[in-house]
Structures are given as structure tokens and as C-alpha cells.
Structure 1
């Protein structure tokens, strides 16, 4: 960690600079600091209202010929410099655009008519540029703040679940701060890298956790989502770029898609204060049906007898072999699911924001504090404090624009070292009480490991995340704009795990010197980015031209130090590594990543209906050797808005129709730093007090970029003035030149060599998005949204697959997400043992030749359905998420009745005598050497996979806005539910999260209050 102090100094200087400069900057901007010559024009003022005469704040007003604009204030007023013969364009989401001639007037009153969709005015963030939804040539899915605010979540990924077609997001754990897996249109690369590129206010944001499994262990599996640092209530919109036309401008970084997060900004008007308070209650939504005590003991005794050890059950000498049968109370029953994961988690959230400003300068500052507990016993908790600010300014002549955005988040997570979920499912139902009569941990004469002993251990993690961005723009001449984006991120994680000897069974006679230890992880990821851009727009009659060119300079540094100390004089000194008898360095690494690119865009529009969009990028990455560092990527997108043809008049049922298509290439360099060099890693052991370095990578400068070729066709249709809108897409992505670890012989001393492999993966599918306004009256409105994705994936090519070490994982023509299993033939009625198909006919069942049954665990269909009903001031939102998929079931974790530890009640229906037709084999206690092979094979067979399709009530929100309040007071009261019900035939913990070792998603109820004034 030799650079850590240097980075900390830079970080402190940045904060000092920002907080000293910001007040002066706002004061200067408000004073009218100019950055360009003034235009000699008259000032035009006025008011914008709706058809009922109510003022409309936030309306965009633009002088058509000059691209000069402003925004109406809270009272609908506006003021803008314009010539006497100029045209003013008034636009706002949800209202029909209006064009008004100045005609020499100095005061103008404008009324805007409500439009159910106003498709042409829906502006989407495409990263380096913006585009209206009507004229986009690429596939961009979006979710707005009004949708996210109706969900009681603390991570933006949770708010996106089910809302965006082709975007599959799965929550890995119900523990606060846990991670998510994200896939946009499937898995493209064999190396398993599927995370998209995240961009927050123009700044790349690393989504990979710097947690270490050596510290976090089971509770997080090392996966702590950095995106927890972003408060969903601070987000204005999230756009997901999916096809080549939308992602190719990001080049090598866009192979897995791009997620653009735009935070909220201030609006012109009087200073406004907004307070948001909420409290949530969360519980596990589903318990497994487990064996009761009589059922469990019956199977245990039967298993011991079947294994031939029944006589020993009567011999007290052997009671220690089966304490659950002979030593523990046979009449005792504990529902361990309720004891260990049946608690109620509380989350309290408070946010205060201040916003406002003039037509030239707007500001927003918000602060949020959140505290959350868990369903586990003990005092676990998660705390988060977030600060977000934004300052925007335009000079008087509208030539110069400045936007400053800053986010700083502190997270403090204190969890038990172990997730109690596995123990909740497997502890014997007659296991002893957790505490003795004196309130101490009960070890029941050292006959069991008390699960609450892990509460003596600690797992703590703290993260600090800073992200800052400055966007500067200057209009050199009419239609020629120079922009520069400057970004900086600093992500720091420090964690520790303690293992005191008091957390172990006293029978082991452990002491602090012989056992107690602490493992610490100190990590840092720091990056900066500079992106100068030049944009030029020109209209030649009916032809519009939009040119963009720019360059990117990015640098990222990552450091991690993992240390373990063992042997302490006493547990009170366990936090002091200097008191440890031995200190081991488990991981000590630092890396630097440099990236440079040039990019460009050419957009041609003819007659506002024929659109051509060309994008290109040349990337350079330090992750490749000399001569391989640069790659070229690009795409072409076409769109034809055929509804603007003369054939379709004003009275046509078809109000909008567009055909679009795109083709292009993106790439990937997601292999880690320095993989082309000879590398060495700390071994974790030492020799005579000296740390050992072991070789970890072999020099190979010949590998290069992975490549992803994307093809898409789309059709968009709007009916009845866009009250019904359908967007359908077909896509095919082919990823080749795969970067994978090529296995090496053990005699080389290395397990693999990083290189390009001649393999091709294809992802294709169909996506459908539908939204409709079913009813729209003065008092009642009802709208519907629906999205669905039908993905398909296959391994098209893999030279030499049959003779490689990948032969047991992949099959040509099948997806990368398959598992190869034994084919279970059920239970033999005569022997009571599991049977399997002998594929090679040699009379034996082996793992190499007889695991030929293929199951695909990726979803075959998924999407969401939402309805919003508004009656007066009352709004009800209901959103359903659905998936059609197969997944591992309870057989995967326990296939034989009679083993020690509880299991699904299904095992009670077992084989007992010849002729029985059952689903489970004869009971066994696992005492016969080699006798559990059938159990192992069954857990890795087709019987362990079943249908896990579901329909989940993901979110219900009921909001009431208090009417007729004076003094501008705005009050909203809401009740929200998340993950309320799941309709499924799946019998495991959660059809989306099938592992029984991690806490499933929780059911949440939230009561909230929003006050604005």
C-alpha cells in the first residue's frame, strides 16, 4: 500500500479545493459572470400555463434559430433574449410542443396542451449525445425517477429489476449491502465477465467489489456492491444501451452493454426544501417445508439400521456418534428458520434536499442517512450517509455552460461472519436450546456447535466513495460547441474479520494464542477521466447534419492488501496486529490501467424521417502487449419514420411508425491488468520469516481484443395518437476471439495461460415493449407498461472442445449457462437405490463419460407488467415480474433420507421395501464407506433440476397527495410493498436465488412521508 498516503493526500486536496471554490463559484455565477460576448437582442418575458391556467414550471424554451434556451420557473415565468423575428419553441414532457412567433412582443402568454406521450419530446441520454425517442436509431431502454421512487430499495440495480427488456438482474443475497448479477442480452464471453459499463453523470464507475473472500467469507462471498453508494432517490433516469448503434461509441467498454445513470439537477425558481422520511419492515418471504422431529428421528434410526449399525444404537458407548438420536431430547422441536432468519429487519431513511436558482444558475444539494438491520439474531446493522450536489450555470449570452456534480457516500456495515441461512435449513429439529439457564451459550455437553457462537465473531466493512464530474461547454460560433467532461472517482474499502477462540466448542480447549485471529482488507480504486469533445450541427434545407468527435484519456489505479494476524495474548488485543504472534500477507497487489481513445459520430436526417447514424471508436488499452494495444470499433444505424409519409394523414389510426436497424462491433479488454506479463503473487506463507512470492502468470504479448458483432432490427408502432405504443426488436450478437485461461499441463507449474481462443458465442432473441394509456379523464387515469424478452444463446464454435478441459462444461450448439448432469432414472423398486443412464454402456456410472444430460439454467423468458391508476390525488402502482426458467431444487443439497441434519419433508416419501415406487432411495446415515456415491450422483443429476418459473409481485405503491395546501406546501404520504408475493411451483428458498446457503430476498413494507415547501 505504498501509494495509499499519496492518494489520500490528493483526495484531501480535492475536497479542500471543492469546498473552498464552490461558494465563490456560485456567487460569481449568480453575479452574472460572462464568458462570451453579449448578443444585442431584446428581452422577451412571459408565462407558461396549462389549458386550465395553472403555471407550468420546468418548460424548455428555445430560440429556434440560435439554440439559445431557458427554463420556466415555479410560477411558469420565463425570460429570454430574442430578436423580433425569432420563433420560440416551448417543450415539456407530457405536453405538445408549441412554436410561438415573437413578432416584436416583449410579453407572451403561452398555453400548452397535454399530450399522452409527447414521443418527440422524450429525450434519451445516449452518453456522448442526447436523442429524442422518436428519432433514435439504436436500442435504448430507460427507467425514470418516478418509477424508482415507488420502490423501497437502496441500490439502483434493485429498482431496475423486471422493468427493462433484455436486462436480467438477480439479487445475490438479502443481506444489506449485498451484490447483484447483471446481464444485458445474455452472457457473451466464456471467461464469465458479464458486467456492463456503468457511467454516472459521464464518469465511468467500477461495479466490481474490492472485497476479499478471505475476509467476508460466506456472508457476502466477497461481493459487496459498490453501486450501494448511489442513492436511488438522487437519480433522474437510467438508460441502458443495448445494440451496436447505441454502444459502439464506447468501443471496447460497451461489449456487455452500457448503463447510464443521470442524477437529479436543480430547477429554476424559488428556493425549495424537500424532506423525505421512510421506515421499512422486512422479513423472509418464504420458509422451506422441513422434517418434523418424529419424521427426522424416524429417518435417522432407519438410516443407521440400513447401514448395518443398528445394534450400536443401543450401546451407550457410541452415543457420541449420533447425539441427535440418543443424547438430545427426542420430544424437542425448534423451528430453526424462525430462530435464525425469522427476525424483522428495520430500515429508516431520511433525506433533505435544497434546490432552486435563477434562469441562469440552478443548484441542488441533498443529504441522506440510512440505517438498516437484518433478520439475523444479534446486533447486525448497516449504515449509510450520502451527500449529492449539482450546480448548473449558463452565461447571459448562452455561449458558456457549466455543470458540476459531486457525490460522496460513507457506508458502515457490521454483520455476523456467517450467514445463518444454511444452518436454519439443516439444523436437527431437536437440537438443543441456544442458551443455558444462566443466559450463556449452550454447548450441550460439547455435543454440538452452537450456531450463535458466530456472533462472537465480527465482520465489518467500511467504504468511502467519492465521485465528481465537471461538464464545461462553450459555443464557439452558432452550432459549433466545444465540450469537456472531467471526472474523478475514489472508492475505498476497509474490512476485517475476527475469529476469537471463544466462538468454538470448549471441548477443543482452544486459547487465544493457538487460535484467535483477525484478517484485514484495505483496498483502493481511484480513477480520473478527461473527454474533450467538439459538436457541430447544421441544417441544409431538409437535410440535418450532426457531427461529434472527441477523445478519451483515462487512468485507474487499484491497490489491495490482505493481512492475517494469529496468536494473541488475549481477545481484547485481537484488533491490534502488533500484538499478533504471526502476521501473514495473504494478498498484496497494486495495478495501473491506462486507456485512450478517439471517437466520432455522424448523424444525418432527411425530411425528419430518414435517419442515418454512424459511430466509431479507436481504443487503446494498457492490458495488451506492444502491437496489440489498439482496436477499432464502429456501427451504423438506420431509421425510417414511415408514419411521416404522405400516406398517413392526421386522422390515421397509426400515429407513429418507425423501422430501424443497426450493425456494428464492440470489444472487450476485461481480463485484468498485466496479464500479458510474467507476474508474481504473495503466497500467504513465509520462509524463515520472509514472505514468499510465487509465479502467477506467464508472459504472452500476443493476445488481443475480444470482439462482439451486433446485429439488430426493430419496429416501433404508435396508435391512437401514441396512446398505445409498441416497440419490438430482434437481435443477434456474436462474440469471438474469446479471452480465456487456456489450461496448461501441471508440469509447467501454471494452471493456465491467458490468450485468445478460436471460439464464438451467439446470443439472439426477441424483445417487446408496450405502453398504453387506457383511460385518461380529468379525474381518472390508467396506464399500462409491459416488457418481455425471449433470449436464446449457443456456443457456435470452439475448436478442439472435445479434447479440452472445457469438454465437461460446454457443448457446441448449447448455451454457456448449461450444466452437464447424470440422467436420473429414479429409484429401483427392487433395490431401493437410485439408477442412472449408462451413456457409454460400460456398466459403470462415471463422472467423465456419463454426465451427458444437459440443462440450461438461464431464463428462457422474462419481463414485467405494470399498471398505474390515478384517481384525483390518489395513485396506485402495481408491478409484476415474471420469468420462465429451470433451476436447482432441494435435491441438489440433500438427496438421501437419514443423513444428519434436517432436510425437505419430501425425503420422508422414501423407499422402504421391495416394490415401493418412490422419488427417494432407501434411508442411509452415510456410515458405509463408498456407499454415498448414488447420493452424490443424484444431487448432480437431472432430478436436481426442475421448473423454477414464477410471477412475483415485485412492487405495490399507494401514494396520496394532500390537496389544497397554501404557501406552496406539498405533502405526499405513501405505502409501498416490495417482493410481496411469489406465485411458483418451485419448492426451494427463492426461484431466483436457488442456493440454500445465502439469505433469500426479503419481503418489505415501507411507510413514507414527503414534504416540499
Structure 2
């Protein structure tokens, strides 16, 4: 261990030679001869209130500027003269001062300062403010809290911890993304996820879409996609601040209509060099698998007729579906679903080195994450590196942040698979496979694909075996990302500073897809298909800010002014080839010109803004903030490209006027109003020309793009109001925060369909109004706090309701994505719900009773008003989390529960399995009962039994075939039959950690801190839904109302257990 520690020091020393503060950082504790001429040697020990030594505390001699840091026992040695002042500080503790007397040894106790840490928060533009001065809600999560349920995706670590934050994980596939929504959606067609800001620079969080992968919710081409915040190493995060309201985020202008999440990464601290090493292994397994029937085998029931007269029913096995004969005891069955999933695992290793002095600091880290998915042949791999440095010189402070990451994903097709195929999606195949067929039998002895029906069925009408898809079709993506920023700040006086920042965010995603020859695709791909897509993103930004702060009597005034410039560019190049000349050789040169295609696109967008904020407070009791930002965007017409975003907020700490009491520690009321908005995509004003590689007999040319331009577009606008109250009781042992808000988003940029006579399909226009209203309640406190015991508990609850006030005249329903399962679609309705589910229904009378047809079965309603009606609302009535941490000395137990009440989920997985005769529901085929109104107006209940004969469509038919037709055609037509109004309670995380005593570690003379942690995620789920209700059929994209609440043959969620340790040297 000592040898490793020395090696770390050597590496750091070599690295430090290249840093501008290296000399200062390592020589700070070496006093000069001049400063020690009249000084004497002083020793001491720094401990906390429990008597444990404080390691790495800074001990500074105020007069000379020299100092030291405490060692592993809390001891220090400095040179100071009598009458000098020692300043002792360490993060998380209140600073202490000691006057040097004739004594030569001092014992110093530092008091906890958790309240002070809680009072300062990071707000817009990275400015730190006192929490009590804010006129809007803000929530932040520190590094310790994030690590309690650490996820490779930092978004997931916020789940259940902040009121008003809804996170949906995109399933259990390796490398899958998550989406995050703050206070409901504000845009009908634009991205409704908040903007991420990392160390002052906008950080793209797109769900990268390339090639034939999922696009804005496309189920027919879906595969696992990551959201790009996953490129950050969670171990590098010091703090995440969530700006939920428009007033909090208004300074970011047109990028912040959906809120802002500010990520601050770690820095080195003044004191001794620290090396941190952590590693963790996680095992995962599939959870909440769909329930299936194992009574009936593959095939279908077929009525026999002779001379038009019914003669009996037989079974035909010429079908993939399981509507066949009952399975007898002599027929082997296979548990295809359970046997398909493997136990996944992941290694997560991190190392960091940090140090600093009073004039400079640095932080250097590296990480490696390697995951094997629960689906065979899938995985996710990520490596990250980061350097943060800061150096002070005279009035200047220079900062530099650089990060590099590389992520690789091996994935598979999900949902329904490829467009134009008959079930090439892995999970659809798994969930629909008959229990009488061994799914592992996918190859013939010669290595060709096993065809269950041989030549009896055309290839394009077959279903691909999931094992064929996994082993033969290869889908990969690789993302390399570089981010960085350079900043300089000049403290002109103690009340005036100027800062400049330049930042870059650049990444490239390369996606490739191999579809093996002989699979179930359209005929053109029978000899294989290969595609590549390269997507490049580059964002450059600069900002200049100045700040003035002065005290005038009882008034404190602050003025901040700034300007920023953003330039965003994207490039994409897509190539595809098929029908290869040489089998199984997937190269573009192996295909003729007729069997090759390519396309490319390039976009650029610029945004220039000026902004300012004025703050005033009186006696640190009444606070007022007025801000404004004006943006100029390149994507809107000249007359509309300049727009102003004002905001005003205020707060009143009324307890400053009340007599001091033991029970009420703090009370504040707050209110805010703000206006923010969004512009549009590049090149939306003019109709673009679309190049075609194959045009008029392979001659190149161009044609009009399918989107008609609109040169009169305006920005979307969101006006938001918020009122709230904060209360703290019993010396801050109990905290309550309540907020009520409204968001009105108008001039929506939407794309209604045009008449075919126009020559276009869509045209962007300003129309539509989304109105959100909701509440957020957070109750937290420390019920128990003694020398050895601590219990911290936080309960948060929030509810939002989003409605569409109006749409474009003549538009009765808006489908933002192509998310559709059967007749169920994600939709928005005028004067209805923003996150609605539309669908079809049975015909009903004026009393709402089902009308039966001549066969005694429900009648399908037809026409637009019957097939595109609002069936449900995907937005929960309310949701929240309950987080508890109980600590006893070095032991700490954390439990996080999440809950939701209300909100519909459409079970498209059960829908698909029912059609295939494999769902648990479809096992109820010996008898069904159907109630409704018959042709005479009488309410009746009809019973159909499998072994009886009925008149059906004018002729005799067995009850067995009628029941099968009912489940495959009539029952699914009623969309509500697969809808569930969900209630759910989930144990999201439970973790137990143990920190070794400092007295024990002191004996090593090397290890400062050591801990071991065991964590289990997603162990328990109590719900009335058949599956996991946390679903988004199209993954982590959140365009418009997204695909949240629609479940369709996705990779099931996982439960996991992990064990890890952390060492600090």
C-alpha cells in the first residue's frame, strides 16, 4: 500500500511540473527565512466535536501568510510569533481563530457547519447566492447524496430526491438512457428536457439518433440509445443544482424554457495532496418479466366444413402464434423468457488525485466502466478523464477544465424491430415465442438459419429467432467526446469583478449496423445489409460578465451584466449498402451502385445574448431580484429574431420581525414571475432542396424537401409564476418547503399536415397553448441527532397537470411522434391533456353501454371521432420519494422509496402477447362473457364456451374459434382494455456503508479514509400494473409529450446488487 501511495505521489509530481501552480502548491508549507525570523515553533491538534481528528484542515498564520495542513492524526506544526492569529478551516466546519500566546501547543475543536453549507446554492450563470435571498424554488444534491445510489447515468441519481423532477429510465438494456422532465412539458414538438450546464458551459444531452435507429420515438426502428449526460463520470460531480422555475433559469434565455440543471465538478482543496481510489462490482438481473400462459401450444383452431355444414374443429400448427391445442403431459415445454436473460455485471473503477494551496488547486481523475447486459452479446463500456485547475495571480484567477470520454455500446433491436420486417425486434420475439418450441434452436447443422416452416412460408413473412438476431445482426455505436473551458476572473476591488469564459463541447458518434443474409427482412436485404452513420456535434461559447456589489446603509445592492455568444454545428453522414455480391462480406465496395445509398446533412445555429440582473436586499430580510435577457437567433426571421426574457422575484424573511422562539427557526415567503422561450431548428424559414442520389434513372438532382418553410415564425414563449413558503423549526431540525406554480406556453411551433395538393407534407407554424399548473412539497429533518446516532429523513411530493388550451384551427389531435401500438398513440388534444393516450373504442349508446353486433360481440366504432379519442392521461396525479439515512458511528444505512399515484400506462407488451396467444390473459379461452346492449335495446350478458357451437356471421362456428378471434381482433380494438391507472411503490435504493475509524487508519500512516458499501437497487415493487410502469417505449428522447407511459416489448427493468470500497490516501 505504501508503495502505491509513493507511486501516486511521483505521478502527481511529474504532472504538477506542467501546471502553473505546481511550485506554489508543493512549497506552500515551507516557510521562508524572512517570515520566521521572529517566530517560534507552534504545534497543535485539530479535532471535531466528537474528538475525531480532522485530517487535511488548513492552518494559516494570518500575518505571514505561511501555514500547514493537519496530518492523519489532526496534528500540525507552524512557525508563528506571539500575538499572531491562526486561522483554521476545513470544508463542512465553521472556521476557527486562535491567538498565539506564550503557549507552544494548542488543542482546537471545529464545529459542524452543515447549516452554512445548506445556505449557499449555485444559481444561473454559476453565481452562488444565499438560499434565503431567492424568490423561487431551487434544489441541489451534493456528491455524498449522489453516491448513495450512484448510477452510470447521473440523471438516475436524482430519482425520488427532488420534488417536481420526473425521471423515466429507458429500460434495463446496457447503456440505455433516461429522460428528465421538470414541472411538465412546455413544448408540443420541441425537446422538453432541461438544459445542462457543466462548469459554466452548455452540455448537450441529446439522445443521439443515427442511421435507422430510434428517431423521435420511432418504434419501427428502435434500438437502445443513450442520453449524452452519461458521458460524465458521476464521481467527478461535486454538486447538481436543479433550477425548476423560469425565474430561476431566465438568464439562460431561449435554452431554458424547460429548466436548467447546473453541474459543478470537483476541484482540489487547499491542504495536503489526496489520492482517492474506488471500485465497485454490480450484478444485475431482469425484473418484472411479463406473465405468460403455458397451457396451449403453437398453432390455431380451424373449423371444418363439408358442403357448408360445420363438421368439427381441428388444430393447425402452421402459425407462430400460440392459439393451438392444449399442451399434454408428453409435450416438452420451454421457459424461453426466463432462459433468455443472463445475469449482467459491471465493474466501475475510479481514481483521482487532488491538491492545492491558497493560490491554486487541481483535480485529476480517470474512470473505467464495463458492463455486460442482461441480454446476451450486449454491453456498455465507458472511459473518462478529467482535469480541473485553478491558479491565482495578483487580482486574477485563471481556471481550466478539460474532459475526455469514450463510450461503446453493443446493442440489439428492440420493440418491433426494423421497418418493413415482420418482427425482427429481439424482445418482441422473446415475449411472443411459443412455450412448445425451443427458442435456442435457431441454426441448422450447416450454420444456416433454421426455418420453422421451411418453404411453406415466404422468408419475409417469417419471424426471426431472437438468438439469430443477437448472434448474426451486429449493432454498435461509439462516442468520443471532448469538453473544456478556460476562464479568467479579475477582482478589481472587493466590490467589482470581471470574468471571461470560453467553452467547447464536441463529440462524434459512429453507428454501424450489420444485418446478416437470410434474415427476415424485406426482399432487397435478403443478401444482407450494412450501414454506417457518423454524427458530429460541436458547440462553442464565450461569455463576458461583470458584477458590482455595494453596501449602502441597510441596503445591499448588486448589479450583474453580461453577454454571451453560442455557435452550434452538427454534421451527419449516412451510408448503406445491401444485396452483397460476396456473401457475408459487409463492405460498400461489395455492392453495386444500385444497391448503395447515402445521405448527408449539416446544420449551424448561432445565438447571441445580452443579460443583466439587479439584486437588492434590505437588512438581509427583504430581497428583490430583477433580471432580463435579450437573445438574437439565426433561426428566426429578421423581424422576429430579437426577443426579451424578463423576470422578477422577491422574498421576505418574516422571522426577522418576530421574537426569537425555540420552535420557529426560520420563515420565508417568496414569489416570482418570468418569461422565457425557445426558437426553432436551423433552416425552417425557407423550403430546402433535398439532394437525391438516385433521381431520374440514377442521374443526380434535387427535389423539394417534404417540410415547407415558413418565413414568419416567432419564438415559443413560456410565462411562469410561482409562489412559495419555507419554514424551519426547532433549530433547523425540521424543514418545510411548499411551492405552487403555473406555466403558460404559447405561440407553440408545431408542424400540422398539409394537403397533398401543396406538394409538401408538413409546415411549421406558430399555434397552440400548453398550460401547466402544479405543486411541490418537501418535508425534511433530523428526528434523531446524538453523539453516535443520526436519522435524516426527507419526503417530497409533487403533482402537475398539463393541458392543451388550443391548437391550430382544424387540428383536432396532435401526434408529435410515431409512437403507436395497435391503435394506441401518444397524443395531445385541444382543451384536453398534453400527455394523453388516444385510441379506438367499442361502439356505445347514450348511456355508455357497449352495443353488441349480430354475433353478440362488441361492435367496433368507426370514424375519426371513434378511432382517435382520448382514452387516458399518462401524467401521474402526484408522485414523490421518501429518503432516509440512519447513521451510527461509522455505519450508515440509506433507503430511498419512490411512489406514484394515478396516470395511465398502455401495456403494449401485453397487447402483442395477447395477439400471439401467449399472455396470461389469453389463457382464459375456455369461456368468455360479454355484456352489452343487443339489437332490441336489451342489456344482456352473452357467454361463449370453447366446446359449444354458435351461429357466427350466418353460419355455425365453434366457440373456440370465436374466442380466439375475440382476443385477436375485437378485444384489442378497445384500447382501454390494455390501460392501467397506475399506483406504484418502489424501493429504489437501499445501501449500507461502513467507514473505518480514523484511529485505526492512523496506524497505517497512509490511509486517511476508508469505507465499504453494499447497495441494492430496485429490489421491491408494489404495483397494480402487470410489469414495471416506469416505461418509455421509444427510450430517453423527450420530444413533445414523449413516449412515457407506453410499454411495448422493451428490455425489462433490472434489479441489482453491488459491493464496493473507497480509499483516500
Equivalent in 616, 619, 628 of residue 607 of structure 1: 619
Could you say which residue in structure 2 is the equivalent of 1:204? 202
Could you say which residue in structure 2 is the equivalent of 1:565? 577
1:264 equivalenced with 2:262 (yes/no): no
CA contact (8 A) 1:683 1:691 kept: yes
1:409 equivalenced with 2:409 (yes/no): no
Could you say which residue in structure 1 is the equivalent of 2:992? 958
Distance 1:321 1:533, change over 3 A: closer
Could you say which residue in structure 2 is the equivalent of 1:7? none
Distance 1:319 1:811 in 2: 43
Equivalent in 120, 127, 130 of residue 129 of structure 1: 127
1:997 equivalenced with 2:1049 (yes/no): yes
1:943 Cα offset (Å) = 2.6
Could you say which residue in structure 1 is the equivalent of 2:875? 858
Distance 1:648 1:571, change over 3 A: farther
Could you say which residue in structure 1 is the equivalent of 2:686? 677
Question: Residues 358-386 of structure 1, C-alpha deviation per residue, up to 9 Å, x if partnerless?
Answer: 23222111111111111123x32221111
Equivalent in 749, 753, 761 of residue 763 of structure 2: 753
1:500 Cα offset (Å) = 1.8
Distance 1:138 1:257 in 2: 12
Could you say which residue in structure 2 is the equivalent of 1:522? 534
Question: Residues 904-923 of structure 1, C-alpha deviation per residue, up to 9 Å, x if partnerless?
Answer: 33551664578556999976
Instruction: Tell me whether 884-893 or 706-715 shows the greater mean CA deviation.
Output: 884-893
Where 1:251 maps in the other structure, the secondary structure is: helix
Distance 2:766 2:772 in 1: 20
1:360 equivalenced with 2:359 (yes/no): yes
1:452 equivalenced with 2:467 (yes/no): yes
CA contact (8 A) 2:303 2:314 kept: no
Q: Within 5 Å, which residues of 2 pair with 1:245-324?
A: 245-292=247-294, 294-296=295-297, 300-301=300-301, 319=318
Could you say which residue in structure 2 is the equivalent of 1:873? 890
Distance 2:223 2:39 in 1: 62
Distance 1:573 1:823, change over 3 A: closer
1:423 equivalenced with 2:435 (yes/no): no
Where 2:765 maps in the other structure, the secondary structure is: strand
1:224 Cα offset (Å) = 2.6
Distance 1:847 1:710 in 2: 35
Could you say which residue in structure 2 is the equivalent of 1:468? 484
1:465 Cα offset (Å) = 0.8
Distance 1:919 1:927 in 2: 11
CA contact (8 A) 1:173 1:1000 kept: yes
Distance 1:121 1:184, change over 3 A: closer
Distance 2:534 2:543 in 1: 31
1:796 Cα offset (Å) = 2.6
Distance 1:78 1:158 in 2: 42
Could you say which residue in structure 2 is the equivalent of 1:4? none
Q: Within 5 Å, which residues of 2 pair with 1:60-99?
A: 94-95=92-93
CA contact (8 A) 2:175 2:224 kept: no
Q: Within 5 Å, which residues of 2 pair with 1:717-732?
A: 717-732=727-742
CA contact (8 A) 1:628 1:704 kept: yes
Could you say which residue in structure 2 is the equivalent of 1:835? 858
Could you say which residue in structure 2 is the equivalent of 1:652? 662
1:835 Cα offset (Å) = 3.0
Could you say which residue in structure 2 is the equivalent of 1:937? 973
1:764 equivalenced with 2:773 (yes/no): yes
Q: Within 5 Å, which residues of 2 pair with 1:502-581?
A: 502-504=518-520, 515-577=527-589
CA contact (8 A) 1:658 1:717 kept: yes
1:823 Cα offset (Å) = 5.0
1:384 equivalenced with 2:402 (yes/no): no
Distance 1:424 1:538 in 2: 68
Structure 2 unaligned spans of 5+:
1-13, 29-34, 415-424, 458-462, 817-824, 931-940, 947-951, 953-958, 1033-1045
Distance 1:605 1:683, change over 3 A: same
CA contact (8 A) 1:137 1:639 kept: yes
Question: Residues 616-652 of structure 1, C-alpha deviation per residue, up to 9 Å, x if partnerless?
Answer: 111111111222111100111101111222x231x43
1:584 Cα offset (Å) = 3.9
CA contact (8 A) 2:655 2:667 kept: yes
Distance 1:461 1:119, change over 3 A: closer
1:94 Cα offset (Å) = 5.0
1:146 Cα offset (Å) = 0.8
Distance 1:104 1:471 in 2: 45
Where 1:114 maps in the other structure, the secondary structure is: coil
Could you say which residue in structure 1 is the equivalent of 2:1059? 1007
Where 2:1019 maps in the other structure, the secondary structure is: coil
Where 2:898 maps in the other structure, the secondary structure is: strand
Distance 1:754 1:219, change over 3 A: closer
Distance 1:985 1:685, change over 3 A: farther
Distance 1:135 1:152 in 2: 31
1:631 equivalenced with 2:643 (yes/no): yes
Distance 2:16 2:635 in 1: 37
Could you say which residue in structure 1 is the equivalent of 2:703? 694
1:269 Cα offset (Å) = 2.2
Where 2:704 maps in the other structure, the secondary structure is: strand
1:718 Cα offset (Å) = 0.4
CA contact (8 A) 1:822 1:836 kept: no
Distance 1:386 1:643 in 2: 48
Structure 1 unaligned spans of 5+:
1-18, 34-39, 838-843
Question: Residues 23-52 of structure 1, C-alpha deviation per residue, up to 9 Å, x if partnerless?
Answer: 15344765999xxxxxx9999999864335
Distance 2:903 2:615 in 1: 44
Could you say which residue in structure 1 is the equivalent of 2:418? none
Could you say which residue in structure 2 is the equivalent of 1:36? none
Distance 1:726 1:116 in 2: 17
Distance 2:320 2:237 in 1: 58
CA contact (8 A) 1:563 1:583 kept: no
CA contact (8 A) 2:907 2:1047 kept: no
Could you say which residue in structure 2 is the equivalent of 1:37? none
Distance 2:785 2:708 in 1: 66
CA contact (8 A) 2:922 2:967 kept: no
CA contact (8 A) 2:69 2:272 kept: no
TM-score (structure 1 length as normaliser): 0.85
Could you say which residue in structure 2 is the equivalent of 1:817? 835
Question: Residues 740-786 of structure 1, C-alpha deviation per residue, up to 9 Å, x if partnerless?
Answer: 114321111112221211x3211111101121101111111111011
Instruction: Tell me whether 478-487 or 447-456 shows the greater mean CA deviation.
Output: 447-456
Question: Residues 119-166 of structure 1, C-alpha deviation per residue, up to 9 Å, x if partnerless?
Answer: 664433443411122332222111111111122411111111221111
Could you say which residue in structure 2 is the equivalent of 1:707? 717
Q: How many residues align?
A: 960
Please tell me the root mean square deviation across aligned C-alpha atoms, in Å.
Answer: 4.2
Could you say which residue in structure 1 is the equivalent of 2:1019? 980
Instruction: Tell me whether 365-374 or 417-426 shows the greater mean CA deviation.
Output: 417-426
1:114 Cα offset (Å) = 2.6
Distance 1:563 1:275, change over 3 A: same
Where 1:343 maps in the other structure, the secondary structure is: coil
Distance 1:607 1:577, change over 3 A: farther
Question: Residues 93-133 of structure 1, C-alpha deviation per residue, up to 9 Å, x if partnerless?
Answer: 65456688999999997643235634664433443411122
Question: Residues 667-694 of structure 1, C-alpha deviation per residue, up to 9 Å, x if partnerless?
Answer: 111x321111221334574443344533
CA contact (8 A) 2:320 2:434 kept: no
Instruction: Tell me whether 423-432 or 104-113 shows the greater mean CA deviation.
Output: 104-113
Distance 1:77 1:469 in 2: 38
1:949 equivalenced with 2:960 (yes/no): no
